[in-house]
């Protein structure tokens, strides 16, 4: 696996934070923040690739049972995750403008030093117009050369203990 200098700079502090955390049996490796519209597409693809790499992912589509409070389950998921990733897609950019659930998740994740944005189908420049704070974080971008599988493998290496 090869990393760009920017990716090394982005992922090294996240790895250091993960290494300092005390082990807990109920702790997930990654909380996956995504737009509702991406739940069956890009978010599910990233979730499945991460799980195939052995990463324990909190993913609302899998972890929120029918009849439970969505916001409360998200709150528990955020509390029990080592790091958060935000899947930045055109749908997420649209959702953030509406201040919905993804916006609430993002607010919590921005307050922590354990956040990696992953741009897919959009750019950090487009993100800057919607969320300058998130865009100021360096992250990973899915491209033809840096596929979703490669991004998942890099994230898996970050959280591997």
Provide mean pLDDT across the span 89-106.
Answer: 86
Q: What local confidence, expressed as pLDDT, does residue 149 receive?
A: 97
pTM for the whole structure: 0.89
The token pair at 53 is 């790499």
Confidence at residue 112, expressed as pLDDT on a 0 to 100 scale: 82
The neighbouring-strand residues paired with 57 are: 30
Identify the pLDDT of residue 96. 85
Phi–psi pair at 117, nearest 5 degrees: -80, 140
What percent of the chain shows pLDDT beyond 90?
60
Q: What was the pLDDT predicted at 139? A: 94
Which range scores top for mean pLDDT: 11-20, 70-79, 140-149? 140-149
Active-site residue identified among 7, 16, 105, 125: 105
Using an 8 Å Cβ cutoff, are 99 and 72 in contact? no
Q: Is 7 a catalytic residue?
A: no
């Amino acid at each position: 696996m090869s990393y760009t200098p920017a990716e090394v700079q982005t992922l090294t502090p996240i790895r250091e934070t993960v290494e300092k955390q005390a082990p807990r049996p109920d702790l997930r490796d990654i909380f996956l923040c995504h737009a509702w519209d991406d739940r069956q597409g890009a978010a599910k693809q990233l979730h499945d690739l991460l799980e195939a790499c052995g990463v324990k992912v909190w993913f609302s589509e899998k972890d929120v049972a029918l009849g439970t409070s969505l916001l409360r389950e998200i709150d528990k998921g955020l509390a029990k995750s080592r790091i958060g990733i935000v899947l930045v897609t055109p749908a997420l950019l649209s959702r953030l403008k509406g201040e919905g659930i993804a916006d609430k998740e993002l607010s919590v994740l921005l307050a922590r030093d354990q956040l990696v944005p992953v741009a897919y189908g959009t750019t950090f420049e487009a993100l800057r117009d919607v969320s300058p704070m998130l865009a100021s974080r360096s992250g990973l971008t899915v491209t033809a050369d840096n596929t979703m599988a490669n991004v998942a493998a890099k994230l898996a290496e970050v959280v591997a203990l």
